[in-house]
């Protein structure tokens, strides 16, 4: 089990760590969406324990430094906090936070897939709106890119021709709800409203070297991630904890 800290001990009942219990759930089956869903369901069923684990872990300076080092601001305006990394079983626990902002909610508006399967739950906020796509000869035109192809610059987008996409579904996930996604799914993800929204993502191991991103013709292929500071981290975690406690 990787990256456990002494501060986590206070978060578990009977001396057990929340992250260790989650590893037990995930280690009971293959690293597929059904197993990852069991992990996400554990968070959804015991959100207070996750919040306690997050609060207590955040008091450990070493844990904060390590977490910040592997976290960042996504170019679409939300923070990806990698709050736990496990080597056996292999999974990551991530907290995605969309701060409250005026105007339309910001999300992952470019259709994309992932290099790993995952399951998630909405911890804070109204919910998330997804649209799923498939390539189709009679769909809407996009420029297609590969993400992760360049080991020297893994966040770079590399041109991969053109494609047309059609919508195949539009699932909504409300607070406390669950969502699963495998490497074959192409989707967009946007908060339902512009209030504070946070999701917990249980991510499986990498299954492919690269993934696909689609952009409307004329969009820039530049999408740099922004570094996340310890100040950002503490503020975001405080807002998530307060939002959960207030039922936001």
Residue 111: which pLDDT band, with cuts at 50, 70 and 90? very high
Q: Please give the model's pTM, rounded to 2 decimal places.
A: 0.89
Phi, psi (deg, nearest 5) at residue 5 = -125, 160
How much is the pLDDT for 219? Answer: 81
What distance in Å separates the CA atoms of residue 146 and residue 76, rounded to the nearest whole number? 18
How much is the pLDDT for 106? Answer: 66
Among 55, 173, 170, 196, which residue's Cα sits nearest to residue 120? Answer: 173
CA contacts within 13 A on the Cβ side of 133: 26
**Cα angle for residues 205, 211, 217 (degrees, 5° grid):** 155
Residue 222: which pLDDT band, with cuts at 50, 70 and 90? low
DSSP code, position 125: S
User: Average pLDDT over the chain, rounded to whole?
Assistant: 89
Among 104, 83, 100, 101, which residue's Cα sits nearest to residue 92? Answer: 83
Residue 184: which pLDDT band, with cuts at 50, 70 and 90? very high
**What SS3 class is residue 143?**
strand
Which residues, in sequence order, are CB contacts of 44 under 8 Å at separation 6+?
121, 176, 177, 178
């Amino acid at each position: 089990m990787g990256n456990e800290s002494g501060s986590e001990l206070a978060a578990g009942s009977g001396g057990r760590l929340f992250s260790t219990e989650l590893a037990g759930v995930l280690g009971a089956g293959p690293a597929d969406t059904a197993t990852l869903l069991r992990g996400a369901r554990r968070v959804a069923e015991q959100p207070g324990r996750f919040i306690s684990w997050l609060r207590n872990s955040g008091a450990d300076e070493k844990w904060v430094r390590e977490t910040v080092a592997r976290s960042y601001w996504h170019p679409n305006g939300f923070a990806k906090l990698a709050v736990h990394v496990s080597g056996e079983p292999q999974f990551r626990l991530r907290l995605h936070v969309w701060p409250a902002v005026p105007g339309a909610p910001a999300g992952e508006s470019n259709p994309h897939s992932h290099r790993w399967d995952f399951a998630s739950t909405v911890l804070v906020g109204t919910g998330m709106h997804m649209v799923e796509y498939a390539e189709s000869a009679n769909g809407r035109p996009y420029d297609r890119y590969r993400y992760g192809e360049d080991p020297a610059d893994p966040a770079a987008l590399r041109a991969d021709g053109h494609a047309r996409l059609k919508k195949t579904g539009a699932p909504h996930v409300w607070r406390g709800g669950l969502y699963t996604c495998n490497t074959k799914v192409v989707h967009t993800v946007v908060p339902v409203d512009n209030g504070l929204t946070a999701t917990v993502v249980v991510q499986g191991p990498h299954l492919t070297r690269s993934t696909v991103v689609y952009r409307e013709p004329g969009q820039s292929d530049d999408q740099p991630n922004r570094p996340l500071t310890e100040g950002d981290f503490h503020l975001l975690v405080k807002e998530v904890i307060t939002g959960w406690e207030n039922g936001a």
